[in-house]
Amino acid sequence: MSASGFALGSFSFSSLKLNKPIKTTEATTTTISVVNKNNHERLPPQLLLQEKERLGVLGRREAIGFSFCLGIINSLVQESTAAEAQCELTATPSGLAYCDRVIGTGTEASKGQLIKAHYLGKLDNGKVFDSSYNRGKPLTFRIGVGEVIKGWDQGILGGDGIPPMLAGGKRTLKIPPELGYGMRGAGCKGGSCIIPPDSVLLFDVEFIGKA
């Protein structure tokens, strides 16, 4: 497999990143330019509203509408965060457990299809061993043909009580050793392994869609 980083099926390592990605949202960083009588200031939306009212630029009706829009944005952000936080793993007979943090709205993948997915991989103790987000490039691979570990094939395609992922979806997978790297582990050199033998793995997978 010629993917950069941690090749999930071929035990290949390059440019391995061990730091967790930092997620930000546009809602938390958006600033809007406003002109006053003397200079240009960049203010967050709440302060912009107050400044416009002070300068008489914004009418009462506009102010009410602006506040209403800000309230909707904040509410949507809070609901999305709460939905992801409440995700609980569901175990299947194979030992694979899953949890849908975001249900996709696109099409599901078919066996043998070339797809793209972002991921964050952790050991059961929480230690991050790889992240495509840190590299800024999703993993491209053929699903269901053994290019990745069995837990990924089943976790994305579905089966054994697991629904297939839809493009745009985000799912957490808890993968037992027999569906991961088993007794061999992975990335082993000089008596130590990045993924020790018999490791339970946790993956946050974002199915982007077909490549």
b/e map 1-36, b = 16+ CB within 10 Å:
eebebbbbbebeeeeebeeebeeeeeeeeeeeebee
Residues annotated as part of the active site: 119, 129-130, 149, 181, 203
Name the phi and psi angles at 115, rounded to 5.
-130, 170
The closest alpha carbon to 8, from 139, 159, 183, belongs to 139
* Residue 51 buriedness (CB in 10 A; 0-12 / 13-18 / 19+): middle
